[in-house]
Amino acid sequence: MVLAIYNRIFDTADIPVVKRLLELLEFHKIQTVFYKDFYDKITPWHTFRNTPQLFTGKRDLPRNTDMLLSLGGDGTILDSVCFVGNSGIPLIGINLGRLGFLAAIPEDEVDEAILSLVRGSFTVEKRSLIHLDSSIPLFDNAPFALNEFTIHRQDTSSMIKIHTYLNGEFLNTYWADGLIVATPTGSTGYSLSCGGPVVFPQTSSFVITPVAPHNLNTRPILVPDDNVVSFEIEGRSDTFLCTLDARTEIIRNSVQLAVKKENFMVSLVRPDEHNFLKTIRQKLYWGIDKRN
């Protein structure tokens, strides 16, 4: 097995679990490929038996990579999506962050997680992505996201108006600070914090969630993901923020934007003892009230 390892934010507090992980990989003779920046930061703390192969992005990620291991939180997983793109390389996340819906394996289960990989006792889940079409090039030829696409106001405290259309037919004008179009995977992210519903990953839908809407009768809605969702933006400023997951572009209101389901999917790996229901029960503390 060839395992690529990516870490975005290196924290010395994570050194014990990282060293344990590397020792396990060496013990099981798993070939590793390291993100160069992470390798440079970990070498003072760990002695490698052999100098591993390095990568800096999608272009030099070895084609024979069997899996990419993300060390961090959900943001690190979202970065990893840009590395694998449509290559079909599955992603697995060990949570060194906080909430961890995507990087759902806690650091105290590293031993079990690596053993699951060695034994092949894991499940690969396909997750849909959202794709952005725009009238100008945006996001460095990676116009897709695992969690969500958003439009936000910029340089003003005033609300913006986002005229929204489904397959060219008018849906609604959102008077708000912004608008989120989330995938089922992204329903437990930014959309959830703005009052959107939790959606099972296998659901074929988008969640359209306004950010701080002015109209009290405006609520999040689910639409089938075979729709093309397009937008026209108005506001006191001529520029707005447009995001795909954690990546941001500044656009003018003359830019035409539309989102749809991406034509490829991303694979997420989970040990057999983990599943979506277990994750949301743990992360949202469902069932903790013993009176039920």
> So which residues are the catalytic ones?
74
Provide the terminal-to-terminal Cα distance of the chain, rounded to the nearest Å: 46
Q: How many CA atoms lie within 13 A of 135 on its CB side?
A: 10
Q: In what order do the strands lie in the sheet with 247-252?
A: 221-224, 205-211, 178-182, 148-153, 239-244, 247-252
Whole-angstrom Cα distance, residue 33 to residue 19?
A: 15
Q: How many CA atoms lie within 13 A of 30 on its CB side?
A: 26
What whole-number distance in Å separates Cα of residue 104 and Cα of residue 74? Answer: 9
